[in-house]
Amino acid sequence: MAHSVRRDAPELPDFSLLKRLARDQLIYLLEQLPGKKDLFIEADLMSPLDRIANVTTLKEHEVDKLYKVEHKSIVSTSDQLCFLIRPRIQTVKWICDVVNADKAVGKFRRYKVIFCPQKFYACETLLEEQGIIGDVTTDEWSFYLLPLDDDIISLELPEFFRDNFLEGDQRWVRTAGSALHLLHSLYGPFSKVYGIGRCSKMAYESWREQVKEGEQRVRQADIGNVFLIDRDVDLVTPLCSQVVYEGLVDDIFRIKCGCVEFGPDVTSSDKSMKVMLNSQDKVFNEIRNEHFSQVFGFLSQKARNLQTAYDKRSGMDIKQMKTFVSEELKGLKKEHRLLSLHIGASESMMKKKTKQDFQEMLKTEHSLLEGFEIRECISFIEEHINRQASMVESMRLLCLLSLTENGLLPKDYRSLKAQYLQSYGVDHLLTFSNLKQLGLLVEQQPGETLTVMESRVGKLVNDKTAGKLTDAFSSLAKKSNFRALSRRLNLVPKSDEEYDLRVPRDMAYIFSGAYIPLSCKLIEQVLERDGWTGLEEVTRMINGHEFAVTAGSNGSDPRGRSDAQRIILVMFLGGCTYSEISALRFLGKEKGYKFVVVTTAITNSARVLESMLDNHA
């Protein structure tokens, strides 16, 4: 391994408790509807559910048949139906249709709707309006947090990003607050909370309110510090191509709920295979955080080691052989299997990655981050669009261009947009409208007046009014100030030195040494400074609603070096990428911290941009 682990790194707390709690509650809820029943599960709850309770467990609690919610009429013959859904209007509407259809033919059944992780008033109103509130019982399955790995916990709410940052719908903020509260009561008390972003601030407040309402237990903290960050504080990072193994696998094969499906080209057989990707997979665990260029080296070394281990057999007598077979062989075989899978995946990715256009795309990306040869970049993007290469990739490059350049020149904006519409269809007019609203792709405003005025006003008036004003401004134009931030925080390392990806010197290694993710840099800086002091200009440019709160009486250990103080929970509101997680793991190893990443969902460029498409909603 390239990085040496600091020996005093603290142990992570055991998050499997979260799974047990969720399972127990689900079983309790299922038992509230005694007897055989059919279970309808919202499509995007299926994978998370699978991590909590498998089919056998469900059957043990009298679930007869399992169906996916497909928003069409149902075929079940059971006289008890249970729906396990997200609190979404469309799904509730569909349930109303199901119930009303039964009523129309005089069929009597019992219905139970379990909302996960909570119900919304709007859903209940709908049940009422449709006149079926008396026919169904409703419940909440407070399954807020799914541990995806030892250090990753997901809320599995991909819609958080669009709902919150684009639609201005804050319904999930309280959910985030409740999740934080749950973690606090199980692994807290947290002694320090840092945060940046409006949504983070609100989630923090919602959590504090829940703490106040509930009873306090005095316990030894497992997690000392918390950092909350809004995704829209740093939109550049998730739009970059990922080149660290785990991130790349996510970009190319899409990891779903910690599980990836490798197609026949990877498994070198005729069928696909689902593989869990986490620290249990020894091979994966060693390469997940590595830059892709290093992975082949690791894998071939691993293969050699494995061969040596197998070769030990040759000189063995019967007894040694017996112990070898009973103790080592199984592990070796498993490792062998995993190794061949990851080699397969790497080869498949290599094919895509080494293609000419991928290399050129990376080059363009790096130029954009550096602010170098922008005209060439624009021509590249233009050609990309003209050749109707991937729709999402084109959009990604356009957004990166806008974010790094503080918007496009009006001329470029118009012509690129026009060409985009010619290539991919006029319906993207709506997509562009969304991108503009979110500040991902904007036209440069004449002069910088707006930002300056905005920040001045922000200084003058108090927080609440500033919030409203910012709302007003942000609908006019969002500024990213990327270039200035990059200079101030040294996000782009000097390009004249060779960057040795084998021995990374900073978090930039996750982007081939071209860029240190802003989100992770902020975390590093705040932890180092123990607050936001000295970062005033940075936060002003981010327009961030930053805060740092130290808990009062049960405050931190005077030495401040107890294990819990070095375990830091980072919560991304709106999603985070695997690359960012890798960067934080790197930072942790350097500084002797352990990071626990809590995110509303794992995201990447494609997911961010697909959520901006309008047929999405």
Partner 1 sequence: MAFITANWNPLGDAFYRKIELYDMGWSLRDGLKDCMVAAAPYGGPIALLRQSQRPSPSARPQLEIYSSSGVSMASFPWKSGPVRQLGWTVCDDLLAIQEDGTVLIYDLFGTFKRHFSMGNEVVQNQVLEAKVFHSPYGTGVAIVTGASRFTLAMNIDDLKLRRLPEVPGLQGAPSCWAVLTQDRQTKVLLANGADLYILDNTSCTPVTPPGLSPQACSIINMAVSFSYKYLALFTDSGHLWMGSTNLKDKLSEVETKVRSAPKQMVWSRRPKSQQPSVVLMWDRLLLVAGVCKETIQYTLDEECVCVAELDGVRIVGASRHEMLQEVPSACEDIFKIASMAPGALLLEAHKEYEAASFGKCFLSNFPPEPFVSMCRDLRVLNSVRDYSVGIPLTHTQYKQMTVQVLIDRLVYRKLYPLAIEICRYLKTPEYQGVSRVLKHWACCKVQQKEEPDESIARAVSVKLGEAAGISYSEIAARAYECGRTELAIKLLEFEPRSGEQVPLLLKMKRSQLGLSKAIESGDTDLVYTVVTYLKNEMNRGDFFMTLRNQPVALSLYRQFCKHQEQETLKDLFNQDDDHHELGNFYVRASYKESKLEARLSLLQSAVDEYNKAKNEFAAKATEEEMKLLRFQRRLDEEKGEALLGLSLHDTLHALLSANYHKQAEQLYRDFRVPDKRYWWLKLTALAEKEDWDELEKFAKSKKSPIGYLPFVEVCVKRHNKYEAKKYVSKVTPEQKVKAHLAIGDLEGAAEAAIERRSEGEISTVLARCSPTTDRALLERLNRARSTAAKK
* Residue ranges binding partner 1 (CB under 8 A): 89-90, 93, 120-122, 125-126, 163, 167-171, 173-174, 177, 202, 205-206, 209, 212-213, 382-383, 386-388, 414, 417-419, 421-427, 429-430, 433, 468, 471, 614-615, 617
CB of 57 to partner 1, least distance (A): 31
Q: Residue 261 belongs to what H/E stretch?
A: strand 259-262
Nearer to partner 1, 430 or 548 (CB): 430
The H or E element that residue 436 is part of is helix 428-438
Q: What is the token pair recorded at 269?
A: 């057989």
Residue 156 Rama label (left phi>0; alpha psi -120 to 50; beta):
left
Nearer to partner 1, 87 or 517 (CB): 87
Q: Minimum distance from CB of 210 to partner 1 (Å)?
A: 10
Q: Do residues 226 and 180 lie in contact, with contact meaning Cβ atoms separated by under 8 Å?
A: yes
Residue 443: other Cβ atoms inside 10 A: 17
* Strand order through the sheet with 37-41: 63-68, 37-41, 80-85, 110-115, 136-140
How distant, in Å, are the alpha carbons of 268, 278, 561 from that of 264? 6, 21, 50
Minimum CB–partner distance for residue 195 and partner 1 (Å): 14
CA atoms of 196 and 187, how far apart (whole Å): 22
Smallest distance from the beta carbon of 185 to partner 1, in angstroms?
18
Q: Find the shortest distance in angstroms from Cβ 414 to partner 1.
A: 6
Return the number of the residue (212 or 319) whose C-beta is nearest partner 1.
212
d(CA 582, CA 576): 11
Q: How far is the CB of 470 from partner 1 (least distance, A)?
A: 11
Residue 118: CB minimum distance to partner 1, A: 9
Strands (E), 197-250: 225-230
Q: Closest separation between CB of residue 126 and partner 1, Å?
A: 8
Please identify, using beta-carbon distances, which residue of 417 and 545 lies nearer to partner 1: 417
CA–CA–CA angle 202, 176, 148 (5° rounding): 145
CB closer to partner 1, 307 vs 388: 388
- Whether 241 and 362 have beta carbons less than 8 Å apart is answered as yes
Smallest gap, in angstroms, from Cβ of residue 277 to partner 1? 33
163 vs 286, which CB is nearer to partner 1?
A: 163
Query: CB-wise, 20 or 387, nearer to partner 1?
Result: 387
The CA distance from 291 to 570, in Å, is 23
Q: Minimum Å distance from CB 430 to partner 1?
A: 6
- Provide the sign of the torsion angle of the four alpha carbons 333, 337, 343, 347, taken in this order: positive
Q: Which is nearer to partner 1, 60 or 471 (CB)?
A: 471
Q: Which residue has the tokens 């919602």?
A: 206
Pick 132 or 277: Cβ nearer partner 1: 132
Under DSSP, the state recorded for 315 is G
Q: How far is the CB of 129 from partner 1 (least distance, A)?
A: 9
Closest CB to partner 1 among 293 and 307? Answer: 293
Count of beta carbons in the 10 Å neighbourhood of residue 60: 12
CA distance 156 to 176: 11
617 vs 411: CA distance, rounded Å: 31
Do residues 473 and 450 lie in contact, with contact meaning Cβ atoms separated by under 8 Å? yes
Is the CB of 168 or the CB of 263 nearer to partner 1? 168
CB of 266 to partner 1, least distance (A): 24
User: What is the C-alpha to C-alpha distance for residues 403 and 397, in angstroms, rounded to an integer?
Assistant: 10
Query: Under a CB-based contact definition with an 8 Å cutoff, are residues 178 and 210 in contact?
Result: yes
CB-count burial class (<10 Å; 0-12, 13-18, 19+) for 347:
middle
Nearer to partner 1, 323 or 422 (CB): 422
Beta carbons of 444 and 409 less than 8 angstroms apart: yes
